[in-house]
Amino acid sequence: MIEPTESESKAELDRFCDAMIAIRQEIAEIESGKADPKNNVLKNAPHTAEMIAKTEWSYPYTREKAAYPMPAMHEYKFWPAVGRIDNVHGERNLVCSCLPIEAYA
C-alpha cells in the first residue's frame, strides 16, 4: 500500500507515479514477448554501479536501460550498494519460536 503524506511535494509524487508507469511498461514488454521473461531489467534489478561499470555486459537490454530506466534518473540517481537479495528464503523456511499450540489450551 502506498500512502503519500503532506510532507511529500507534488514533484516527488509525480516522480513516484512516473516510476510506477515505467515499471508497468517494463512488465508489458515481458507480457508482449519483447523482453525475455527470465532475463530482463525487472528480474535483474536493482543494478549496482559496479554492475553497470563492468567491461562485460551479458544482459539482453542496454546498460542505459538498466542504469537510467527513466529520464529523471540522470539527475537524481540512487546507486544501490547490492543487487537483489533472496528474501523469500525466510518465507519458505518458517521458524517459529512460539510454544506448541497445545500449551495455549
Task: Read off the pLDDT of residues 36-78 as tens digits, 9 standing for 90 and up.
Answer: 999 999 999 999 999 999 999 999 999 999 999 888 778 878 8
Q: Looking at the domain assignment, is residue 58 inside a domain?
A: yes
Q: Express each pLDDT in 71-100 by its tens digit.
A: 877 887 888 888 877 667 767 777 777 888
pTM of the model as a whole: 0.70
Closest CA to 60 of 39, 45, 44: 39
Residue 32 lies in a domain: yes
Using the Cα atoms of residue 50, residue 56, residue 59 and residue 65 in order, give the sign of their dihedral: positive
Number of domains the chain contains: 1
19 class by beta-carbon count within 10 Å (0-12 exposed, 13-18 middle, 19+ buried): middle
Give pLDDT, residue 10.
Answer: 87
Distance from C-alpha of 47 to C-alpha of 84, rounded to nearest angstrom: 8
Q: Is residue 99 part of a domain?
A: yes
Of 12-21, 28-37, 48-57, the poorest mean pLDDT is in: 12-21
Residue numbers of the domain that contains 42: 10-104
Query: What is the C-alpha R_g of the chain?
Result: 19
